[in-house]
Structure 1
Amino acid sequence: MFRRRRREQPEQAAAEAAVQQPQDIRESGPWDADEPHPEADRVDLGGMRVNIGSGFDVQIAVAGDQPIGVVVIQGDSALQLHAFAAPKRGGLWEEVRTKLAASVKEAGGAVETTEGPFGPELVGTIPAEGGAQPVRYVGIDGPRWFLRAVINGKAAVDAAAAGPFETVIRDVVVVRGEEPMAPEEPILLRIPGDRHAAPGTQEAGLDPFTRGPEITETR
């Protein structure tokens, strides 16, 4: 009897360890909604969940009547976040990076590829009112999605100013969904707390942030 128990104990311990062992969580995102990721007080925008602390102004970028992106502003710098569908094979950022570089050049700007904290990115200047404006294009390939982050202003060239924006990028959770989508099709968002109202409306008392910025809209 004792010998039989000794044979069973390692098997039981292994089964218990398998149940108790936590799933591996990457230290840094952006994350896919279906993978393990740290809990945080993120704003649920439907296709994207964003963790934004105090000290930022936040706007929703709208195309027509549909929210498609987030604009995070601090001082004279801004971060734009847009999520897009991508093919299962992934690797959309390399293709998009080439298109962006050509588009910037055509518009009279200049960018070059450099290695950043998220991998290859484009850094340079784009034409703007009052002169050329510094810009960084960051791209992250996920499972069937692609996240594009554009940093404008001082944070595009100053590491200290860029830090808070990079933290926002690292904590984004992308909600791709299961519906069929064409590559580079925007993953649509929604205004927090209002699943059905048109973007031109705002519920009285709507404040999706605690001690932080409020959602506004920009077109």
Structure 2
Amino acid sequence: MGFFDLFRREEDIAKADKLVLDDEPQPEDDAEFEDEEPDAKEAPVDRAEAGPFDDGEDAGDGAFVDLGALRVPAQQGLALRLEMEDKTQRVVAVALDLEGSTIQVQAFAAPRSAGLWADVRRQLADQLGKQGGTAKEEQHAIGTALRTAVPVVAGGAPERQVVFLGVDGPRWFLRGVVTGEATVDEEKLEQLIKLFRGIIVVRGDKPVPPRDLLPLTMPQAMADQLQQAAAQRANPDAS
């Protein structure tokens, strides 16, 4: 498999641009927190030195794949896939495959002073509980993660393991959703966490409401592959 691999799966991207699984209205700005104590930002104490990085911070000299709001560190054995909406062709998430595991990564706009990760965990746990799943917080070097057992079929037994990661950065929130072997293999989970921490978030100066997805873009190399594939489908007999 090449480094770039575009795929679309409706069941996976249906709510890929949402922070939680339900459709409850979300606060649009800092004013929403006036009547209640806002959650503090949650991030590793060494975030600025060890990531996830804000644009402009020193992330090292390695190669990165530029996806707009995200810059993903390139490494041997890593495959990158983009999740897109069929109707809009909008890129809504990036999936990173490494040694039998996957981490789906997205960046969202966030308030300047309040954190999102604590509230997102509460909402995820509540929604999963309503669907017959379970959720348990656990600690890693990156901070608090949420380990869940998700029903494969609504109302069925919880069978699919998923680990949610989150970091509150400067005016952004980075979420990772881990599936595959890393959910049962601690060493592989730590490997994905290390990859997650190597990501650079490019928030930009454009006003974006808190909790809205930061825009992702397709690398030119992948766009060229799509164009070539479309041309071949349109004219399969061409040499």
TM-score relative to the length of structure 1: 0.73
Instruction: Tell me which residue corresponds to 1:14.
Output: none
C-alpha contact 1:85 1:181 (8 A) present in aligned 2: yes
Which of 175, 178, 196 does residue 169 from structure 1 map onto? Answer: 196
2: CA distance, partners of 1:154 / 1:57: 16
Shift of 1:152: 1.0
Instruction: Tell me which residue corresponds to 2:11.
Output: none
Could you say what secondary structure the match of 2:178 adopts? strand
Unmatched 5+ stretches in structure 1: 1-24, 206-219
C-alpha contact 2:80 2:97 (8 A) present in aligned 1: yes
Could you say what secondary structure the match of 2:50 adopts? coil
1: CA distance, partners of 2:166 / 2:79: 23
Q: In the alignment, does 2:67 pair up with 1:45? A: yes
Deviant stretches of 4+, over 4 Å = none
C-alpha contact 2:107 2:172 (8 A) present in aligned 1: yes
Q: Give the CA RMSD over aligned residues.
A: 2.6
Instruction: Tell me which residue corresponds to 2:28.
Output: none
Q: In the alignment, does 2:123 pair up with 1:99? A: yes
C-alpha contact 2:101 2:179 (8 A) present in aligned 1: yes
Describe how 1:149-188 pairs up with structure 2 within 5 A.
149-188=176-215
CA 1:84 to 1:26, structure 2 compared with 1: closer, same or farther past 3 Å? Answer: closer
Instruction: Tell me which residue corresponds to 1:28.
Output: 50
Could you say what secondary structure the match of 2:114 adopts? coil
Letter of the structure 2 residue corresponding to residue 92 of structure 1? L
Describe how 1:170-209 pairs up with structure 2 within 5 A.
170-193=197-220, 202-204=226-228
Instruction: Tell me which residue corresponds to 1:89.
Output: 113
Instruction: Tell me which residue corresponds to 1:19.
Output: none
C-alpha contact 1:114 1:120 (8 A) present in aligned 2: yes
Percent identity, aligned pairs only? 32
What is the count of residue pairs matched by the alignment? 179
Which of 149, 155, 170 does residue 143 from structure 1 map onto? Answer: 170
Letter of the structure 2 residue corresponding to residue 180 of structure 1? P
Unmatched 5+ stretches in structure 2: 1-46, 230-239
2: CA distance, partners of 1:70 / 1:90: 25
Instruction: Tell me which residue corresponds to 2:161.
Output: 134
CA 1:131 to 1:90, structure 2 compared with 1: closer, same or farther past 3 Å? Answer: closer
Instruction: Tell me which residue corresponds to 2:143.
Output: 119
Instruction: Tell me which residue corresponds to 2:37.
Output: none
C-alpha contact 1:122 1:137 (8 A) present in aligned 2: yes
Which of 86, 92, 95 does residue 68 from structure 1 map onto? Answer: 92
Instruction: Tell me which residue corresponds to 1:18.
Output: none
Give the greater-gyration-radius structure (CA): 1
1: CA distance, partners of 2:57 / 2:49: 12
Q: Deviations over 1:13-54 (max 9, x none)?
A: xxxxxxxxxxxx944100000323322201000110001312
CA 1:37 to 1:90, structure 2 compared with 1: closer, same or farther past 3 Å? Answer: farther
